[in-house]
Amino acid sequence: MPNLSRIHAIAQKEVFHILRDSRTLVIIILMPLLQLIIFGYAMNMELRQVPLVVQDNALNGASRALIDAFIHTDYFQVVPLAAKQLEPQSIFQTRKAQATLSIPKEFGNSDTAVYLEIDASDPNSAQLIQNYATGIVSSFRGSVAAGIDLRPLILYNPDMKSSFFFVPGLIAMILVMICALLTSISISREKEMGSMEQILVSPVSASEILLGKVLPYILLGLLDALLILGVGMLLFQVPFRGEFVVFLLFTFLYVLTSLCLGLLVSTVAKTQQAAMMMALGITLLPTLLLSGYMFPISSMPPVLQKLTLVIPARYYLQIIRGIMLKGNGVQHLFQAGLSLVIMSAVMLLVAARRFKLRLS
C-alpha cells in the first residue's frame, strides 16, 4: 500500500523542481494563453476584401452594375491597375490582386460569360473566392423561376466562431503537453542524473515514486486547463453546456492516458534530450496534426485516418467538444471513453514490463 507521507515528500520535491525553473513555468502557462488569443482572434477562415482587378471591355450600364454588385459585398475590393499590367499571371506574381474579372464586349446584350481568374496558390482561399463570385453572379442575373430557398440552421455555434473550436482543443493540447511531455522529461532527468538510483535504494516503492512524481504535474495540468477554460469563456464567450462533473470525470481519464504515454516514453528514452524529442514526436505533433485539433480527420487520406485511431487526443477532443459545446452526457461519449481506457491499460502494461526489464 503506497504510503501517503512518502508520496507527499516526493511530490514536494517535484514541486520545488517545477518552481525553481521559473522560466519554464512561465512558458508553460503563457504559451497556451497566447495560443488561445491568437487562435481566437487570428484563425479566421472567412475572406474579406479580396483584391480584385476588373477588366471591363463592355463599359456599359450592365457591366457597371455587375462590378457594383461585386463591390457592394464585403468580399471584394477593386484595385485599379494600368491597362498594360493586366496579364493575370503577373498580377498574381506581384500579389497585387487575388483574382481578375474580365467582362467581354458584348456583355449585357446577349447571353454571355464573364471570366474570373483566381490565384489558386492557396487553394482554400481560391475555393472561397469562387464561391463568393458564383453567388454574386447568380443573384445578379436574377433567376427566371423561383429556386430553392436554403434555410441554414447552425447549431451550437451560430456565428461559426473559431474560438469555440479551439478552446476545447487547447485544453486537450495542454493536458497532453504537461502530463506526457513534462513527466517523461522529469523522470528521465532523474535517471540521467543518477538520483533515481538514490531513491531506489531507499525503502520507497516504485508506485510511490511514480505517484509522487506525477501528482504535481496532474495538478499543474488541471490548473492550466481550468485557466484556459476560464479565459476562453470570459474572452470569447465559449459556452459550457454540459455537466461539469462529466467533464472532470473524462478529463481525469484523459490525464491518466497521457501519463501512461509519458511513462512509456520515459522507459524507452535514455536521456532528457531523447525523451524530449520522442515526446515531441509521439505526443505533441500527432496531437497537433492528427487529432482533429485543427484539421478535420475526415479530410485526411485513409491511412492517416486509421492512424488517428491510436491518438488519445482524438477521443478526448470529441469528448470535450461534446460536453462544452453540445452538452453531451455520458451516454453520447461512452465509446470514446472506452477507447481511452483500453489505450491506457495497454500502455501501462507495456511500460510496466519495460520498467521491470530495466531493473532486473
Partner 1 sequence: MKSLRVIASFIKKEFRQIVRSREMLIVLFGLPAVQLLVMGFAVSNEVKNLRLAFLDYDRSSSSRALVQSFNTADRFKIVPVEQDARAEELISSWQAQIVVVIPPGFSQDYLSGKGSSLQLVVDGIDGNSAAVANAYVAGVLGEFHRRNLQERRIRTPLSKPIAEVELISRMSFNPDLKSSVNTIPGIIAVLVTVTSMMLSAISLVKEKELGTLEQLLVTPVKKQQLMAGKLVPYLIITLAQLQVAIVMAGLIFKLQLAGSYWLLMLFSGIYLFTTLGLGILISTKVGTQQQAMFFSWFIMVIFILLSGFFVPVRNMPPAIQWISYFNPLSHYMTVLREIVIKGSNLGQLAKEFWILLSSGLIIFSISVISFRKRI
Site for partner 1 in 160-219 (CB under 8 A): 160-162, 164-165, 185
Site track 100-129 with partner 1 (rule: CB under 8 A), x = hit: -------xxxxxxxxxxxxxxxxxxxxxx-
Asked if 296 touches partner 1 (CB under 8 A), the answer is yes
Q: Which stretch binds partner 1 (CB under 8 A): 18-26, 75-83, 254-262, 345-353?
A: 18-26
> Coil, helix or strand for 100?
strand
Q: Say how far apart CA 250 and CA 127 lie, in whole Å.
A: 38
Please give the backbone phi and psi of residue 81, each rounded to the nearest 5 degrees, phi first. Answer: -140, 145
Which window, 3-11, 134-142, 213-221, 248-256, contacts partner 1 (CB under 8 A)?
134-142
Shortest Å distance, C-beta 90 to partner 1: 8
Is residue 133 a contact point for partner 1 (CB under 8 A)?
A: yes
Identity of the residue, 148 or 359, whose beta carbon is nearer to partner 1 in the bound complex = 148
Q: Which of 55, 60, 73, 130 binds partner 1 (CB under 8 A)?
A: 130
Q: How far apart are CA 331 and CA 315, in angstroms?
A: 14
**Closer of 267 and 318 to partner 1 (Cβ):** 318
CB of 110 to partner 1, least distance (A): 6
* Residues 301-330 interacting with partner 1 (rule: CB under 8 A): 301, 304, 318, 321-322, 325-328
Kindly tell me which of 84 and 151 has the beta carbon lying closer to partner 1.
151
Q: Please give the grid coordinates belonging to residue 239.
A: 459556452
CA distances from 282 to 210, 228, 265, 297 (A): 21, 24, 9, 18
Q: And the C-alpha cell for 76?
A: 471584394
Closest approach of Cβ 200 to partner 1, in Å?
Answer: 23
Which is nearer to partner 1, 207 or 305 (by Cβ)? 305
Please say which residue, 1 or 155, places its beta carbon nearer to partner 1: 155
Residue corresponding to grid cell 475572406: 47
- 97 within 8 A of 91, measured Cβ to Cβ: yes
Site for partner 1 in 221-280 (CB under 8 A): 271-274, 276-277
Interacting positions 22-81 with partner 1 (CB under 8 A): 23-24, 27, 30-31, 34-35, 38-39, 41-48, 66
CB of 36 to partner 1, least distance (A): 11
In contact, 86 and 55? CB cutoff 8 Å? yes
Burial code (b: 16+ CB inside 10 Å, e: under 16) for 58-90 equals: beeeebeebbeebeeeebbeeeebeeeeeebee
Nearer to partner 1, 7 or 118 (CB): 118
E strand or H helix at 161, and its extent? Answer: none
Q: What distance in Å separates the CA atoms of residue 246 and residue 332, rounded to the nearest whole number?
A: 11
* Selection from 172, 231, 224, 295 nearest residue 40 by Cα: 231
- C-alpha cell belonging to residue 52: 480584385
| Residue with Cβ nearer partner 1 (209 or 321) | 321
CB 137 within 8 A of CB 198: no
Smallest separation, CB 356 to partner 1 (Å) = 25
Q: How far is the CB of 192 from partner 1 (least distance, A)?
A: 11
HEC letters along 205-238: CHHHHHHHHHHHHHHHHHHHHHHHHHHHHHHHCC
Residue from 140, 196, 249, 268 in contact with partner 1 (CB under 8 A): 140
